[in-house]
Chain A
């Protein structure tokens, strides 16, 4: 199962995003500043936006799911329960998982942004997809929910998962790091070697590395383990 970006590029006015590389099975982190083109790349990889040039080849990928940054953009159900069913899911297990059982008849857009994001992610992650694209999945989540999401993603072993984020505090265990800089997708390589090349790395990770400590990965547990190591 592979996703190939062959000299893919997209224009937005006078702004250009160029991407080249292959995404294999595992969890990929694509980092970049706000407005760097992460969402555009995610939409192109999902097939919802046609590239201006180059091609995207989905090798052995039969199911694709994209989680857009704003959960409201996914709403098609008139109630919270209907919204769960619109994803082809039983509503009760999902709603009990995200503690929204008492809001099953509420309109999804009447939920708080955090509640809606929680509900949306639970629906997206309830099924396995060959290609799962998550655009800023941590936005609107509190620290506990971010950690829960990281644990879930770290456990995911099937298919290609691509995490597009500018998050600096909370990460799952990733296999590969990419970053978008000056309109270009740069392959920083596999973990843990990618860490030394990762320019958008959070200050804490940079400090741990500069202190000469070896980081195996970037999850909270990995950071704790590296910091505590003597």
Chain B
């Protein structure tokens, strides 16, 4: 899906449907199977396994406490899948276009810029994690509880140093607030199909279809 506005609206709709209804979650899963590159994207994004394990553990606790853990698991997995799709489709600069289009050159520009910085930071953290892993391998260390704390401290410290560098650079260049930007969006006609199907999934999830069938009989 080329247009970031359409993509975010679709993802928001699908996430809400997944969260509020198991039937909706199943519909969203089918949508994900049909309209996304599926497992190809999952392989590219790390942390997926960790997130799934966390969700599974939470679902187990809910079940033990007498809740519907299975429903939680199904709904959360589909939300994660939609998140992965949204993240993998994201292109550099899109949030700036979206922010300015939505809220104008002052607030929108700043919000878009902050979102872009956040995305860059996420990529930097992944690179930092890689190099810490390599450094540990070089030193003959293995991942564990003992190495987790210093690794976390380095990640946070690196992120803060980078944030300070960026802030200083912007101040030196005279940034005060807002900016001038002409948002542009590209879209293909095919993009309408997954968006329309997402709306159909919403209707199917919230409209009591079974009652219609009873009426029909």
Query: Which residues of B from 115 to 151 have beta carbons under 8 Å from A?
Result: 131-132, 134-141, 147, 149-151
Given contacts A48-B134, A48-B137, A65-B138, contact A76 B147 (CB under 8 A): yes
Contacts of B136 in A (CB 8 A): 76
Query: Are B137 and A77 touching (Cβ within 8 A)?
Result: no
User: Using an 8 Å CB-CB cutoff, how does the interface string of A119-160 with B read, 1 for contact, 0 for none?
Assistant: 000000000000000000000000000000000000000000
Contacts of A78 in B (CB 8 A): 149-150, 153-154
From residue 58 to 90 of chain A, which have CB atoms closer than 8 A to chain B? 65-66, 68, 72-78, 82, 86-88
Report chain B residues within 8 Å CB of A194.
none
B41 within 8 A of A: no
Name the distance in Å between A76's Cβ and chain B's nearest Cβ: 5
Q: What mask results when residues 86 to 103 of chain A are scored 1 for a CB within 8 Å of chain B, else 0? A: 111000000000000000
B68 close to chain A: CB less than 8 A: no
Chain B 154-176 interface residues, beta-carbon cutoff 8 Å to A:
154, 157-158, 161
Q: In the complex, are the beta carbons of B150 and A87 less than 8 A apart? A: no
Write the B32-57 contact mask toward A (1 if CB under 8 angstroms, else 0): 00000000000000000000000000
User: Looking across the interface, which residue of chain B has its beta carbon closest to that of A74?
Assistant: B135
User: Which residue of A is nearest B133, CB measured?
Assistant: A76
Take A48-B134, A48-B137, A86-B141 as given contacts and tell me if A77 and B150 are in contact as well, using a CB distance cutoff of 8 Å.
Answer: yes
Instruction: Specify which of A48, A65, A76 is in contact with B154 (CB 8 Å cutoff).
Output: A76
When distances are taken between beta carbons in the complex, the residues of chain A under 8 Å from B153 are 78, 107
Bound state CA distance, A73 and B138, in angstroms?
11
Q: Give me 5 A-to-B residue pairs in the complex whose CB atoms sit less than 8 angstroms apart, sorted by A's number.
A: A73-B131, A75-B132, A75-B135, A86-B141, A87-B139
Cβ of A214 < 8 Å from any Cβ of B?
no
Q: Is A109 an interface residue (CB 8 A)?
A: yes
Q: Tell me which residues across on chain B come within 8 A of A74, comparing CB atoms.
A: 135, 138-139
Q: A73-B131, A76-B132, A82-B150 are in contact. Are A109 and B139 (CB under 8 A)?
A: no
Which residues of A are in contact with B by a Cβ distance under 8 Å?
A: 46, 48, 65-66, 68, 72-78, 82, 86-88, 107, 109-110
Q: How far is the CB of B131 from chain A (nearest CB, A)?
A: 5
Residue of B nearest to A77 (CB): B150
Nearest residue, chain B, Cβ from A63:
B140
Interface, chain B (partner A; CB < 8 A)? 131-132, 134-141, 147, 149-151, 153-154, 157-158, 161
**In the complex the two chains form, is A76's CB within 8 Å of B134's CB?**
no
- Cβ-defined contact, B157 with A76, below 8 A: no
Give the complex CA separation of A111 and B157 in angstroms. 13
In the complex, what distance in Å separates the CA atom of A46 from the CA atom of B135?
Answer: 12
Contacts of B132 in A (CB 8 A): 75-76
Closest residue on chain A to residue B151 by CB atoms = A76
**How far, in angstroms, from A88 to B140 measured CA to CA in the complex?**
10
A60 smallest CB distance to B (angstroms)? 20
Distance between B129 CB and nearest chain A CB, rounded to angstroms: 12
Known: A77-B150, A78-B149. A107 touches B137 (CB 8 A): no
**Known contacts A76-B150, A78-B150, A78-B153; A86 and B131 CB within 8 A of each other:** no
List, in ascending order, chain B residues with CB within 8 A of A86's CB: 139, 141, 150
Chain B residue at minimum C-beta to C-beta distance from A49? B134
The residues of A that contact B139 with a CB separation of less than 8 Å are 74, 76, 86-88
Nearest-CB residue, chain B, relative to A82: B150
Shortest C-beta distance, A25 to chain B (Å), equals 22
Q: How far is the CA of A78 from the CA of B151 in the complex (A)?
A: 8
Q: Are B157 and A109 interface neighbours, CB within 8 A? A: yes
Which A residues touch B135, using CB under 8 A? Answer: 73-76
The 9 lowest CB-CB distance pairs between A and B, nearest first, are A78-B153, A78-B150, A73-B131, A74-B135, A76-B135, A109-B157, A77-B150, A76-B136, A86-B139
Residues on A with C-beta less than 8 A from B149 are: 78
Verify B150–A109 contact, CB threshold 8 A: no
- Known contacts A78-B149, A109-B158, A109-B161; is-contact A73 B134 (Cβ 8 Å): yes
How many angstroms from the CA of A107 to the CA of B149 in the assembled complex? 14
Query: How far apart are the CA atoms of A74 and B135 in the complex, in Å?
Result: 5
